[in-house]
């Protein structure tokens, strides 16, 4: 049974077109010129209870607009949303009890207050029982390690620390659904990994349904079986992550830092697509070569300091989907 159902959902924004210059100003007086942005352009999908789904797409694709409609912050232009039997924008309060939300770009916490005081305020707003409150705080201590900075004002936290506190705050009232809009944006690898481990844990242990918006395909690859790709307000893919990897994830990139400045570098099975001093970017087809084969080849011939495997970017995959459709 889907806990979230979305049917032919649209959101349009009217944007005032301001004409510049003298004649532009006169024309602005004479008629107001609006242009219509179709931020979300007729999308339909369902999310089953306990599922963790990746919602990805390039900048401006419509991801945040979708999340805002699901949470009830934005009123749809048309279409239907049903979240656990409620229409979010019509039952905002009731809906808020059942959902947790994290916007990675902006904290939900009180900027000047110590983290713990934000938690206490939220506890009162959501009427969380003393028992549940302390059980949850214990869990956040264990899994998110927030104990070290729980008395620090939010504005003094690092981005990674703040994100962990935002996650904790979103889950204080035990919501069955969690919406995450770019929860790993701007974080380093270690901080990202910590958040991913936590999300996996609450999804599996507490069966929380999670909709995860991200630019980072590695998030989706590590966390979700299903992904939806949105572009220009339309869902252009809804299926398994494996299928996308199989179809579009063939070309992988390896970034190599050499210990010395080699004049001529040749590594069979790969192509150098960029070079910057001691660092090169190699592209290879993973159907033909494994990363470990390539790495051992490189290590045999050259002195290397560091290696990282880069995931394909969402833009590349979106382009691949359109190309595929044209070929069909």
Q: Give the binding site for ligand ATP (CB under 6 A).
A: 13, 15, 37, 39, 57, 59-65
Q: Which residue is nearest to Mg ion (CB)?
A: 64
Token pair listed for 75: 């009123």
Q: From the list Mg ion, ligand ATP, none, which binds 35 (C-beta under 5 to 8 Å, kind-based)?
A: none
Least distance from Mg ion to the Cβ atom of residue 279, Å: 31
Q: From the list ligand ATP, Mg ion, none, which binds 60 (C-beta under 5 to 8 Å, kind-based)?
A: ligand ATP
Least distance from ligand ATP to the Cβ atom of residue 62, Å: 4
Nearer to ligand ATP, 18 or 301 (CB): 18
Instruction: Report how far residue 64's alpha carbon sits from residue 161's, in angstroms, rounded to the nearest whole number.
Output: 23
Q: From the list Mg ion, ligand ATP, none, which binds 150 (C-beta under 5 to 8 Å, kind-based)?
A: none
Binding mask 64-83 for Mg ion (x = CB under 5 A): x-------------------
Least distance from ligand ATP to the Cβ atom of residue 208, Å: 22
Least distance from Mg ion to the Cβ atom of residue 63, Å: 5
Nearer to Mg ion, 112 or 315 (CB): 315
Q: From the list ligand ATP, Mg ion, none, which binds 211 (C-beta under 5 to 8 Å, kind-based)?
A: none
Instruction: Report how far residue 38's alpha carbon sits from residue 14's, in angstroms, rounded to the nearest whole number.
Output: 9
Least distance from Mg ion to the Cβ atom of residue 276, Å: 30
Residue 214 interacting with Mg ion (CB under 5 A) = no
Q: From the list Mg ion, ligand ATP, none, which binds 95 (C-beta under 5 to 8 Å, kind-based)?
A: none
Q: In what order do the strands lie in the sheet with 177-181?
A: 99-103, 177-181, 209-214, 52-56, 226-231, 234-240
Token pair listed for 48: 């089953």
Token pair listed for 155: 């504005």
Nearer to ligand ATP, 106 or 264 (CB): 106
Side-chain half-sphere exposure of 84, counting CA atoms within 13 A:
17
With 0-12 CB in 10 A as exposed, 13-18 as middle and 19+ as buried, what is 139? middle
Q: From the list ligand ATP, Mg ion, none, which binds 57 (C-beta under 5 to 8 Å, kind-based)?
A: ligand ATP
Scanning residues 219 to 258, which ones bind Mg ion (CB under 5 A)?
none
Q: From the list Mg ion, ligand ATP, none, which binds 65 (C-beta under 5 to 8 Å, kind-based)?
A: ligand ATP
Least distance from ligand ATP to the Cβ atom of residue 289, Å: 32
Nearer to Mg ion, 63 or 162 (CB): 63
Least distance from Mg ion to the Cβ atom of residue 213, Å: 7
Q: From the list ligand ATP, Mg ion, none, which binds 59 (C-beta under 5 to 8 Å, kind-based)?
A: ligand ATP
- Contact by Cβ (8 Å): 128, 169: no
Nearest to 283 by CA among 245, 256, 254, 319: 254
Least distance from ligand ATP to the Cβ atom of residue 227, Å: 14
Which phi-psi region, left, alpha or beta, contains residue 61 (left: φ > 0; alpha: ψ -120 to 50)? alpha
Residues that bind Mg ion (CB under 5 A): 63-64
């Amino acid at each position: 049974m889907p806990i979230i159902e979305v049917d032919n959902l649209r959101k349009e924004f009217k944007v005032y077109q301001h004409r510049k210059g003298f004649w532009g100003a006169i024309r602005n007086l004479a008629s107001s010129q609006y242009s219509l942005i179709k931020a979300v352009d007729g999308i339909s999908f369902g999310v089953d209870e306990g599922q963790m789904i990746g919602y990805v797409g390039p900048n401006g694709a419509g991801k945040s607009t979708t999340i805002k409609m699901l949470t009830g912050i934005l009123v749809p232009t048309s279409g239907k949303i049903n979240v656990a039997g409620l229409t979010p924008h019509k039952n905002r309060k009731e809906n808020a009890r059942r959902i947790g939300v994290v916007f990675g770009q902006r904290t939900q916490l009180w900027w000047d207050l110590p983290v713990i005081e934000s938690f206490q305020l939220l506890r009162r707003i959501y009427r969380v029982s003393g028992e549940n409150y302390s059980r949850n705080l214990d869990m956040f201590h264990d899994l998110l390690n927030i104990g070290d900075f729980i008395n620090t004002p939010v504005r003094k936290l690092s981005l990674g620390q703040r994100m962990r506190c935002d996650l904790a705050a979103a889950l204080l009232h035990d919501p069955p659904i969690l919406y995450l809009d770019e929860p790993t944006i701007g974080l380093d690898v270690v901080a990202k990994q910590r958040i991913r481990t936590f999300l996996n844990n609450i999804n599996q242990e507490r069966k929380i349904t999670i909709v995860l918006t991200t630019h980072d395909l590695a998030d989706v690859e590590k966390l979700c079986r299903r992904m939806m790709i949105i572009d220009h307000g339309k869902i252009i893919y809804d299926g398994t992550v494996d299928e996308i990897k199989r179809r579009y994830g063939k070309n992988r990139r390896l970034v190599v830092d050499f210990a010395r400045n080699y004049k001529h570098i040749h590594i069979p099975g790969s192509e150098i697509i960029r070079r910057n001093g001691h660092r090169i970017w190699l592209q290879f087809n993973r159907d033909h070569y494994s990363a470990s084969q390539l790495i051992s080849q490189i290590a045999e011939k050259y002195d290397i300091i560091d290696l990282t495997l880069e995931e394909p970017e969402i833009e590349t995959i979106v382009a691949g989907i359109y190309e595929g459709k044209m070929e069909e």
